[in-house]
Amino acid sequence: MTTALSAPTPFTSSNENPELEAFRVAQAPLGSVTSAPSSLSAGSELPAPKELPLLWLSVLAENGRPYSIATPSPVPGGVLVAAAPVELGGRPKLGSYGLYFAEAGGWSADGRETSAKMTLLFDDPALIDAEPVAVYERPIESATKGLQFPSAWSPDENKLIPLASGKTYFGPAGKVENRQLTEVATGRFPGQEPATGDAPIFAPFAKGSIEKIAFYAAHRDRYDDPDKVIVPGLLEKLLEVPVNRKNSTFEATLPIGSPTLLVGLGADGKVVTAPVPGKSASYYAYAGDHVSGIRAGGFHFCTGRHTGHTFTGNNIAERRK
């Protein structure tokens, strides 16, 4: 979601109310990786990526005026959005925002307005309606054959785990593995080519540079406090596990109860970094873009090293077919 081309840059001292401007929604190519804030040290910047082609959702109201469109959520056959017809003067009325279903035909590559159908789903004239979420059944063929979550052991089985604090944990636990730590999972993704065209955005780590994986529990409150937008918590170091230098694999048994994140440590005990060629930015071996929970008795597997949420190259190839 972004402000329209004619609107001021959002959140500046001269524009304290960007929500009064018209918004548009843009869609990047599948699997794009253009930013990984948790990979950067303070004050550093990533190289500018090569400009990616975008598809714009821009539709006209029945009276010929465009909609201001925001907070998209995917749904089969289109997208759910918050939308409001733009009034004369180029601004929507905040109370005019309602929840709409926009058919898939409303996307254009050049930003021109289209005549895709918008179906009003809900509108409370006294409120700003936004952030619709689609919940629907997604049929999985294997579900008819008894689909199950992968398990390492019974959920009722307790494990004794020595913790980094010197204490021990005894209770429900799950297993985490990575069998392809040296696999670069972002090499073929859109957004990996800088504007200069001379190197990938995210450089690979030197082989053998990651000697240990440290796991942390992210103890934090829920994100539903009515007065505090984000309730901060503490990070507790749970344990370290060695990386097999021969085949770059690791596995760990972790307690349940709090979301966890992991970092890759070098021989000096510090987080391993990979400098981006020609820039001051560095790619950190820190999986902080996603904090994951551990299921009791569950088997959890990740592939390679990557930034943010990505797909493997094979998935991209299959989806493009």
263-298 pLDDT, tens per residue?
A: 899 999 998 887 766 665 677 787 765 677 889 999
Looking up tokens 């503490």 gives: 234
Q: Which residues contact 53 (CB under 8 A, 6 or more apart)?
A: 29, 109
- Take residue 321 and report the two structure tokens written for it: 């077919």
Q: Could you report the per-residue pLDDT of 196-227, keeping only the tens digit for each?
A: 777 777 767 777 889 999 999 987 765 555 55
Q: Which of 5-14, 138-147, 296-305 has the highest mean pLDDT?
A: 296-305
User: What value does the mean pLDDT take over residues 64-85?
Assistant: 87
Which DSSP string corresponds to 292-320? E---TTBEEEE-SB-SSS---HHHHHHHH
pTM: 0.65
| Cα diameter, the chain | 69
Strands 168-178 and 299-302, how do they pair? parallel
Domains in the chain, please, with CATH? 2-122 (no CATH), 158-320 (2.60.40.3540)
